Chain A
Amino acid sequence: MSTASASVRRSPFKKWCDQNTGLFFLIPWILGFLIFKFYPFASSLYYSFTDMNFFKGIREYGIMNYIDIFTEKETRTALLITFKYAFITVPLKLVFALFIAYILNFKIKFVNLFRTVYYIPSILGGSVAIAVLWRALFRDTGVINTLLSFFGIQGPDWLADRTWALFIICLLRVWQFGSAMVLFLAALKGVSVDLYEAATIDGASKTRQFFSITVPMITPVIFYNLVTQIAQAFQEFNGPYIITGGGPRNSTTLVALLVYNYAFKENEMGMACALAWVMFVIVMVLTVIAFSSQKHWVYYAD
């Protein structure tokens, strides 16, 4: 390290400075972390043990919020739905992304065009405009039902049916599989051709090659996508807020939306913080599980 090779005769302060140059560059980050991340994080935990209300302040301390979360229907439903949402969207997104990336990785003409088409939804999918579009597509007399009626199918009331409403919210996320796909594509390109050639000579079928060469070689990217997608899925807010408002009958009230409703609709900040913390712990546990499972299935070349 260049700093280590500095001359011997220096004042202790200078020496300290030399050894900690990197720290100077981290000062903004450290401050940012303390002010905008750690302080809110810690005070969120504090508020979660109070009945903090915008207009009434704190009147009571205790674990009542956590008791409510695990006993009340509203919060339990929201947690359950959020799990459903994550466990539907994350695998579907990854499977689609890998599948399309796999095909694109053959010597396909217009690969850039295809890549663009698949990627655009990821860029725009989070916007209000697309949420508005989704409403237009899935109205009772919307385009999708008009389309279905051409095939003689009477489409469901997408936005009024509890199962279908969640389905279309999931669909909005799965539709954005492009970003994961681009990652897979880059990883696939990195898999050495020699491996496939050797396998072909040994007479391994394409399917066999896919599962015994391709997948193992790109497990780091699968892992990365898995972890980031889980974290994102648990935070989804825009879709349900704009498309369904959480309805019908709370069937699309994901945790992030319920936290918002508690905090800014009902002014119950304490309850909102507690629910957010429950969600945080869940995400944390899932992440830790994913990380500790790494050594069993993720293959790092170096």
Chain B
Amino acid sequence: MKKAIALALAGVMSVGLLAGCGSSGSSSSGAASESATGETSATTASDSGSGSGDLSISWWGGDSRHTAYQNALAAFTEETGIQVSTHYGAWSGWEDQTSAALYSDNAEDVMQVNWNWLSQYSGDGSKFVDLNEYSDIIDLSQFPQSTLDACTVAGKLQALPVSMTGRIFYWNMNTFKQAGIEEVPSTLDDLYAAGEAFKTNLGDDYYPLALGEYDRMLLMTFYLESTYGKPWVEDNTLQYTVEEIATGIDFIQSLEDNHVIPSLQTMNAAGIDGNNSIDKSEQWINGMYAGIFEWDSSATKYQGSLADPSGFTVGNEIKFGDKANGGFSKVSMGLAITETCQDKEAAAKLINFLLNGDGASIMGSECGIPNSASGLAAAEAAGAVDELVLEANTKVMAFVDFQLDPTYESNDLKANPGGVYTDVFGGYSYGEYADSTEAATDLYDGVTEALEDAAKG
């Protein structure tokens, strides 16, 4: 008898244990099997339980952008009474987290998105809300139709363009002057000369320019497009042969050989890698690396981290070939509302506030020169448009003459570590390739594969 009771007890214990989990398991799997809305209600219920706001927003950037967003959000809360909780970080590693959050429907209500994410993560339009539906809240007429078209994927306006951006050189003229150079470099020969001057006048540790793997890829694209006069990718096809790409890789290597840029090993040693961008290195902060090739929308981050920012100067775009100017501009980033957002109208209000309304005057040029006409006017009226950013943006827009293919920025290609660009330019700089043709072949194959993959949908 006792034994039977004991057995029953043991059974109850185990069943109890099971029931404890069984119930949570079954209830949640039940929720999962319901429609997407059922699942999202569970998620947001949990959010409101733990979070501190009615809405949530995420963005990446440097310290100055974080501050700008926080101030703008505080103003938004004051105006509307809507609390906004935040999630922000540095760009490195950001896309990994964000893509996983998007996949698991845990992303924030409003997201600052990179342009290529729209096609990469929401190619079927399932992740982001069609903002056309909120045109009564957001004044879409403030945006040029061309940029709205660029953000329309799968027939939905999945994000609103924050700004247009392109790459341009920035120089720390304080160091250039120490090296005996007064003028910003405007030609390739100027770059070589600067490399020589830095080496002889300042020493081996000083370089006029610092380029990471992706920067090298971008600069090479500018070079090739200018030299050969054709876009990098058109109609989802790579327009360059292995031989042509090899000349581009030789060009990048010539910069390294002429002491214009440090080798990637030297940069790694300075602590610059996939996790740590150039602006965090002492070499940049103290002026030993005196130049970058960056998006005009994120240059203030580099200016802000300089120990002495007085010499920070917008350079000129350099025309490397004679067939075209080369280079491209793109939608720098957009603001999107995720499908899992509970209060989409409030989210739309927030986006309108940040891009068209008073928020734009606080954000200023922190995310680049506002694409919205009223946003730009508000920012200019408030004196919040950084002259450097405006100058750089004007120069970029006047110079570049090619389109960008969305696959160019896909994570398979640009991830660091692991992406094709990273492996080719890193490998070449570290001497892992016999010659530039071998590296060019890898790049050619990698890009072709990524394009095929994108075409598969």
- Name A's B-contacting residues (CB within 8 A): 6, 14, 17-18, 21, 24-25, 27-28, 31, 35, 54-56, 59, 74, 139-141, 157, 159-162, 244-250, 253, 258, 261, 264-267
Contacts and interface: CB of A to CB of B under 8 A. Distances in A.
Contacts of B322: none
B14 interface: yes
Contact of B265 (A25, A157, A250, A253): A157
B24 interface: no
A21 B7 CA distance: 7
Given A24-B7, A55-B103, A159-B269, A246 B417 contact: yes
A265 B11 contact: no
Interface string B412-429: 100101100001001100
A269 B311 CA distance: 47
Contact of B268 (A35, A54, A56, A159): A159
Interface string B110-131: 0000000000110100000000
B418 A28 contact: no
Contacts of A35: 25
Contacts of A31: 18
Nearest to B430: A249
Contacts of A249: 264, 426-427, 430, 432
21 contacts: A6-B3, A18-B7, A28-B17, A54-B100, A55-B99, A56-B457, A59-B456, A74-B423, A140-B269, A141-B282, A159-B271, A160-B265, A160-B268, A160-B269, A247-B273, A249-B430, A253-B418, A261-B418, A264-B100, A265-B415, A267-B411
Given A24-B14, A55-B123, A265-B96, A247 B274 contact: yes
A231 B419 CA distance: 29
Interface in B264-302: 264-271, 273-275, 282
Nearest to B263: A160
Interface in B411-457: 411-412, 415, 417-418, 423, 426-427, 430, 432, 456-457
B398 interface: no
B273 A18 contact: no
A247 B268 contact: yes
Interface of B: 3-4, 7, 10-11, 14-15, 17-18, 25, 95-96, 99-100, 103, 120-121, 123, 264-271, 273-275, 282, 411-412, 415, 417-418, 423, 426-427, 430, 432, 456-457
Given A27-B14, A162-B430, A249-B430, A264 B268 contact: no
Q: Does more than half of chain B's interface fall in helix, strand or loop, or is it mixed?
A: helix
Contacts of A162: 430
Nearest to A27: B14
B118 to A, nearest CB: 12
A244 B249 CA distance: 26
Contacts of B273: 159, 244-245, 247-248
A239 B11 CA distance: 43
Nearest to A246: B417
A28 B457 CA distance: 43
Given A74-B423, A159-B271, A14 B4 contact: yes
Nearest to A6: B3
A266 B415 contact: yes
Name which of A54, A162, A246, A247 has the most chain B CB atoms within 10 A of its CB.
A247
Nearest to B7: A17
Given A6-B3, A266-B411, A266-B415, A248 B268 contact: yes
A246 B423 CA distance: 12
Nearest first, the 7 closest Cβ-Cβ pairs linking A and B are A157-B269, A160-B268, A160-B269, A27-B14, A248-B268, A24-B10, A54-B103
A35 B18 CA distance: 12
A244 B268 CA distance: 10
B10 A265 contact: no
B103 A245 contact: no
Contacts of B7: 17-18, 21, 24
Contacts of A25: 10, 14
A56 B411 CA distance: 14
Nearest to A20: B7
A247 B18 contact: no
Contacts of A264: 96, 99-100
A4 to B, nearest CB: 12
Contacts of B17: 27-28
B275 A267 contact: no
Nearest to A258: B418
A25 B10 CA distance: 7
A175 to B, nearest CB: 22
A244 B14 CA distance: 45
